Amino acid sequence: MKNFTSVHDVKNPDKLIREAISLKKNPWKNVALGKNKTLGLIFLNPSLRTRLSSQKAGQLLGMNVIVMNMDKEGWALEWIDGAVMNTNKTEHIKDAAMVLSKYCDIIGMRAFPTLTDREADYSEHVMKQLVKYATVPVVSLESATLHPLQSLADSMCMYEKWHKNKKPKVVLTWAPHVKALPQAVANSFSEWMQAIPVDFVITHPKGYELSSTFTKGVKIENDQAKALKGADFVYVKNWSAYEPYGQMPTVEKDWLLSAKKMETTNNAYIMHCLPVRRNVEVPDELLDGKRSLISLQAENRLYAATAVFKKILEKSKD
């Protein structure tokens, strides 16, 4: 694996998921692998799980870890090639990536979308510019349109919890929120669910269609009650509209999940990537209930990151 920016960078997602799970048995087993190697983690946006799990993952592999909150501590970056840099942008990504590549053996970057310029966000020009100018492998810590480390951790949960000899029904349901959020988690989850053996359904109100780039061939059901019937896993997530981009079209019906709504599921597990607005996106009764996987998802972020960095350090062809 050279870079990790989407499921398409992974030759065999099934194998990676199983390897990530197997790391849990002995987390420090590979501590010699990253000796004298440096992991650089660049954040242009806030984080709790991604920042700490990636940092700890580096430590589990024996790496030195450097973390920089680029948005607060670094120079404002110019991303556009050929730009006349006479605005507030002080350093070009071409130069920043060159410098980071001198100091680091792997670079991770988190860069959220603008949610105002769809063309720019969906071209992934920010992540692509880092990949273009870095001379070391790049790992997405969540980009404008995707969050592959989260989806890898989520997929691990399904493998760990599902032992029946049939595919589980996995439902991604849109949830209400107070502010416009990126589509990255939902897009990425959709990509990964198409790469593993599950029956996948997305349910959302009309107006919240995701980009077909990530949902082509996926069953979409606008009736949440219908979608939930017989579900084995219910993944709850808010996202803003793709069209009109970054907006929050009014929703008439009640899309907040409840224990009552869950009664038609197959005693489904509840998933959310966190952070979650309790009782806005998901009620306490579900987040704190016996079928909640939020703690396992957060735990698995550690092993997802470790598995990815390990593959890169090993220069694995997978």
Q: Does 50 bind ligand CP (CB under 6 A)?
A: yes
Task: Tell me the number of residues near ligand CP by CB under 6 A.
Answer: 9
Please say which residue, 133 or 309, places its beta carbon nearer to ligand CP: 309
Task: Using alpha carbons, list the distances in angstroms from residue 152 to 182, 243, 245.
Answer: 18, 27, 26
Q: Does 295 bind ligand CP (CB under 6 A)?
A: no
- The whole-angstrom separation of Cα 41 and Cα 73 is 13
What is the contact mask toward ligand CP in residues 62 to 101, using x (rule: CB under 6 A)?
Answer: ----------------------------------------
Task: Using alpha carbons, list the distances in angstroms from residue 112 to 120, 216, 227.
Answer: 12, 23, 30
Which residue of 47, 143, 155, 215 would you call a contact of ligand CP, by CB under 6 A? 47
Q: Does 6 bind ligand CP (CB under 6 A)?
A: no
How is residue 258 written in tokens? 């409840």
Place of tokens 């907006």: 247
CA angle 197-199-201, nearest 5°?
A: 135
Instruction: Give the side-chain half-sphere CA count within 13 A for 25.
Output: 4
- The whole-angstrom separation of Cα 140 and Cα 317 is 18
- When computed from its CA atoms, the radius of gyration of the chain, rounded to whole angstroms, is 20
Q: Which residue is nearest to ligand CP (CB)?
A: 50
Please say which residue, 51 or 161, places its beta carbon nearer to ligand CP: 51
Please say which residue, 6 or 150, places its beta carbon nearer to ligand CP: 150
- The whole-angstrom separation of Cα 5 and Cα 143 is 8
Q: Does 274 bind ligand CP (CB under 6 A)?
A: yes
Interacting span for ligand CP (CB under 6 A) from 56-64, 75-83, 269-277, 281-289: 269-277
Minimum separation from the CB atom of position 101 to ligand CP (A): 24
- The whole-angstrom separation of Cα 262 and Cα 123 is 37
Closest to 270 measured CA to CA, from 226, 225, 215, 231: 231
Minimum separation from the CB atom of position 45 to ligand CP (A): 8
Q: Does 150 bind ligand CP (CB under 6 A)?
A: yes
Sites for ligand CP among residues 130-149 (CB under 6 A): 142
Minimum separation from the CB atom of position 5 to ligand CP (A): 15
Please say which residue, 47 or 173, places its beta carbon nearer to ligand CP: 47
Q: Does 48 bind ligand CP (CB under 6 A)?
A: yes
Interacting span for ligand CP (CB under 6 A) from 155-163, 197-205, 211-219, 272-280: 272-280
Q: What is the DSSP letter of 211?
A: P
Q: Does 237 bind ligand CP (CB under 6 A)?
A: no
- The whole-angstrom separation of Cα 239 and Cα 246 is 9
Enumerate binding residues for ligand CP (CB under 6 A).
47-50, 142, 150, 273-275
